[in-house]
Amino acid sequence: MLVAFAIFGTLPFWISEIGLYPYLGAEVLIFCIYALGYNVLLGYGGLPSFGHGAYFGIGAYAFGLAQFNLSSSLWLCLVAAILAAAFFGAIVSLFISHRRGIYFALMTIAFGQMFFFIASKWTSVTKGEDGLLNILRLPADFGFAAYPIQRNIPFYWFVFGCFVVTIIVLWRVVNSPFGKVVQAIKQNEARTAFLGYNVVLYKAAVFTLSCAVAGFAGALFAMAQGGAFVQVMNLQWSGVVVLMVLIGGGFVSFWGPVLGVVLYFVARDLLGVYTDTWQLWFGLLFMLVVMFKPEGLAGIWQGIVYRKQKPRSSASLHLLVMLRGR
Amino acid sequence: MALFEAQGLHMRFGDRVVLEDISLDFPEGRLSGIMGPNGAGKTTCFNVLTGRYKPTRGRVVFDGEDITGLPPRTIARKGVSRSFQLMNLFNDFTAEENVLVALPAMRQRGFDLIGDAMGDRDLRERAEAVLERVGLAGKGPELAKNLSYGDRRALEIGVALAAEPRVLFLDEPTSGLGTDAIARLGHLIRKLKGEITIVAIEHDMEFLFGLADSIAVIHWGQVIRRGTPAELRANPWVQNSNLGRLK
């Protein structure tokens, strides 16, 4: 945790020195928010969603549409993005929360694709393939002072603030009674029901929460890019966040997704300089991680720190249980 | 008057009849046993009584209320708890967390997204008390998956007890336990008797005969004998059956 805050908290001061740029830092943090929210669903809840890009995209579009049609307040537009993603997530959760394992996963893909095609075809609202352009980085108005974030470094600090808030909120959630129940459902859904918990309601709630965080990240991404684009809603982009979380080690660590996101962007921006086929290598890395170290980077780190390997079967079992359903 | 009753339960899976006209009653504060050979339908009977399966026919009545076909969570909230033949713990939780999550007070706070689940002293004290009750004092911080078989079995009962039930269903609680662990379990159940109503399926006849106030024998999905342990001991059918050799 301290390392993450030390790196991200000083990033604008040194990132240019290593040949990179502050915008990349903002992008990394936005995806960290997205992946951390997704990990509450996958890593803590054991619920595999392969259509989460839809809610990221809904957040981006909602932010833009709110900015164009409702208000020029950054906060209101962010709230609109979060609520829109949570609303559609809640609707979807009504249909999928009584499912488990592969059926849950397939339903998320189906709904994700549905949202993707709606966004692609509803051109009067989303502008289709062209995307919703000219989304502004509205000033962060704190009442006593407005903080302009048009330039990349101030924008980075704003996103860093959002990252810190997200970390605090999600850390509280996963350690709260709600978080414990969600983890119990992941481990043993039937037993949790026999203890009197309405597991369907909890699954719906955690799915909605995760969608809300995805929408928040989507809104920040729309600000970063100056537009909302349908590509982020497609199946491939939905898969990227799964890769990030699994490679990072979301099953064994709250911080795993952050590692996964950093690795993804390092691969894209450093490996990508040398080869156009960086995604092939990243995909191969994912396969190796799943085969030999399902705990991901966080698991490797824990193994080094504690000088002992966690039983490999543990994370493998999570994957297996997740896909089979219990 | 019985606290918990099964009235004319039938259960059918496809064309296979698993339970046929099962009528049982479990008086309050007593330990009632259910015995029978493998495949007799005992666990299915438990599953019907605790809401996992809806019976094809018949009624399940708890404290005068018809609870037939209600989902397990609703039945659990009314005060019915159960342990499982195949241990059904939260393996990645510590023993304390296993018990904590089963506490009704925790369930009431289930949608608290801000509080610290492990920071509530009252909840932790209650969890520790349950662990102590089942002989796991001091083992709270250990992961459930790292506990010995006997301790896991005790934790299984601890989780069921933590729910503060009025009726506790125990499905083969001695399964896989050694002599010492069975003695400890017997001691625990003896302590619980009178406090709550207990219904136990058990293969270990000596264990059940030593604890139960009354026993029902199920075979081929039907109740074929009922009585006190003494009555069943004297019953020629039970003596000649393969249910277990009585010493």
CATH number at residue B229: 3.40.50.300
Cα separation of A276 and B125, whole Å?
Answer: 59
Chain A neighbours among B 99-118 (CB < 8 Å)?
A: 100-102, 104, 106-107, 109-118
Domain count, chain B: 2
CB contact under 8 A, B118 and A175: yes
CB contact under 8 A, A175 and B89: no
What mean pLDDT is predicted for residues A258-275?
89
User: What's residue A321's pLDDT?
Assistant: 52
User: What's residue B85's pLDDT?
Assistant: 78
What mean pLDDT is predicted for residues A239-263?
92
Instruction: Identify whether residues B84 and B160 lie together within a single domain.
Output: yes
User: What's residue B244's pLDDT?
Assistant: 52
User: In the predicted model, is pLDDT for residue A119 greater than 90?
Assistant: yes
CB contact under 8 A, B107 and A197: yes
- Which amino acid is it at A82? I
Residue with tokens 């990240």: A217
What mean pLDDT is predicted for residues A84-93?
98
User: In the predicted model, is pLDDT for residue B147 greater than 90?
Assistant: yes
Instruction: Identify whether residues B126 and B72 lie together within a single domain.
Output: no
Mean pLDDT of chain B: 90
* pLDDT above 90 coverage of chain B, percent: 60
Residue with tokens 């002072």: A145
User: What's residue A143's pLDDT?
Assistant: 86
Element (H or E) spanning A155, and its range? Answer: helix A152-175
What the block records as the tokens of B54 is 């809806």
Q: Residue A75 belongs to what domain range? A: 2-324
CB contact under 8 A, A199 and B73: yes
Q: Chain B: residue nearest A172 by CA?
A: B114
Radius of gyration of chain B (CA): 18
Strands B167-171 and B197-201: parallel
CB contact under 8 A, B112 and A205: no
What mean pLDDT is predicted for residues B71-76?
94
Instruction: Identify whether residues B86 and B156 lie together within a single domain.
Output: yes
Q: Which residues of A touch B88 (CB under 8 A)?
A: 188, 190-191
Is B190 a domain residue?
Answer: no
* Of A98-107, A125-134, B232-241, the least confident: B232-241
* Torsion angle of C-alpha atoms A282, A286, A288, A289, degrees rounded to 10: 130
User: What's residue A278's pLDDT?
Assistant: 87
B146 to chain A, any CB pair closer than 8 A? The answer is: no
Q: What is the DSSP letter of A270?
A: I
User: In the predicted model, is pLDDT for residue A13 greater than 60?
Assistant: yes
Are A196 and B73 a contacting pair, CB within 8 Å?
yes
User: What's residue A312's pLDDT?
Assistant: 45
Is B179 a domain residue?
Answer: no
CB A93: neighbour CB atoms within 10 A? 25
Are B118 and A183 a contacting pair, CB within 8 Å?
no
A191 to chain B, any CB pair closer than 8 A? The answer is: yes
Instruction: Identify whether residues B39 and B84 lie together within a single domain.
Output: no
What the block records as the tokens of A43 is 């890593």
CATH of the domain at A235: 1.10.3470
Instruction: Identify whether residues B66 and B85 lie together within a single domain.
Output: no
User: What's residue A252's pLDDT?
Assistant: 86
CB contact under 8 A, B101 and A173: no
User: What's residue A316's pLDDT?
Assistant: 55
**Interface with B, mutate which of A194, A314, A318 (most B CBs under 10 A):** A194
Is B236 a domain residue?
Answer: yes
Chain B neighbours among A 121-180 (CB < 8 Å)?
A: 172-173, 175-180
User: In the predicted model, is pLDDT for residue B18 greater than 50?
Assistant: yes
What the block records as the tokens of B199 is 């219904």
CB contact under 8 A, A194 and B104: no
- Of B144, B164, B184, which residue sits at a domain end? B164
Least CB-CB distance to B90: which of A172, A188, A205? Answer: A188
Helices then strands, counting H and E runs in chain A, come out as 16, 4
Q: Residue B108 belongs to what domain range? A: 80-164
Give the contacts of B238 (CB within 8 A, at least 6 positions apart): B217, B225, B232, B246
Is B185 a domain residue?
Answer: no
Q: Chain B: residue nearest A171 by CA?
A: B114
CB contact under 8 A, B104 and A180: no
CB contact under 8 A, A194 and B115: no
What mean pLDDT is predicted for residues A8-36?
91
A16 to chain B, any CB pair closer than 8 A? The answer is: no
User: What's residue A135's pLDDT?
Assistant: 94
What mean pLDDT is predicted for residues B150-156?
91
What mean pLDDT is predicted for residues A232-258?
92
Q: Give the pLDDT confidence of B32-58 residue by residue, as tens digits.
A: 999 988 888 888 998 999 999 999 999
Is B203 a domain residue?
Answer: yes
Instruction: Identify whether residues B97 and B59 lie together within a single domain.
Output: no
Q: Which residues of B touch A319 (CB under 8 A)?
A: none
User: What's residue A168's pLDDT?
Assistant: 96
User: What's residue B247's pLDDT?
Assistant: 46
Domain count, chain A: 1
Q: Which residues of B touch A194 (CB under 8 A)?
A: 50, 52, 72-73, 76, 81-82
> Nearest-CA distance from A173 to chain B in Å?
5
pLDDT band at A292 (very low <50, low <70, confident <90, very high): confident
User: What's residue B101's pLDDT?
Assistant: 96
> Nearest-CA distance from A271 to chain B in Å?
37
Q: Chain A: residue nearest B163 by CA?
A: A195
In this predicted complex, what is the ipTM?
0.89
Cα separation of B99 and B157, whole Å?
Answer: 10
User: In the predicted model, is pLDDT for residue A323 greater than 80?
Assistant: no
Instruction: Identify whether residues B157 and B102 lie together within a single domain.
Output: yes
Instruction: Identify whether residues B60 and B24 lie together within a single domain.
Output: yes
What mean pLDDT is predicted for residues B64-81?
94
Least CB-CB distance to B82: which of A180, A181, A194? Answer: A194
Is B182 a domain residue?
Answer: no
Q: Which residues of B touch A180 (CB under 8 A)?
A: 97, 100-101, 106, 117
**Interface with A, mutate which of B111, B159, B164 (most A CBs under 10 A):** B111
B50 to chain A, any CB pair closer than 8 A? The answer is: yes
What the block records as the tokens of B86 is 């195949």
* pLDDT above 70 coverage of chain A, percent: 94
User: What's residue B176's pLDDT?
Assistant: 82
Strands A132-133 and A227-228: antiparallel
CB contact under 8 A, B113 and A175: no
Q: Chain B: residue nearest A252 by CA?
A: B92
User: In the predicted model, is pLDDT for residue B19 greater than 50?
Assistant: yes
Is pLDDT larger for residue B224 or for residue B235?
Answer: B224
Q: Which residues of A touch B89 (CB under 8 A)?
A: 188, 191
Is B183 a domain residue?
Answer: no
Q: Give the pLDDT confidence of A309-320 residue by residue, as tens digits.
A: 445 445 555 555
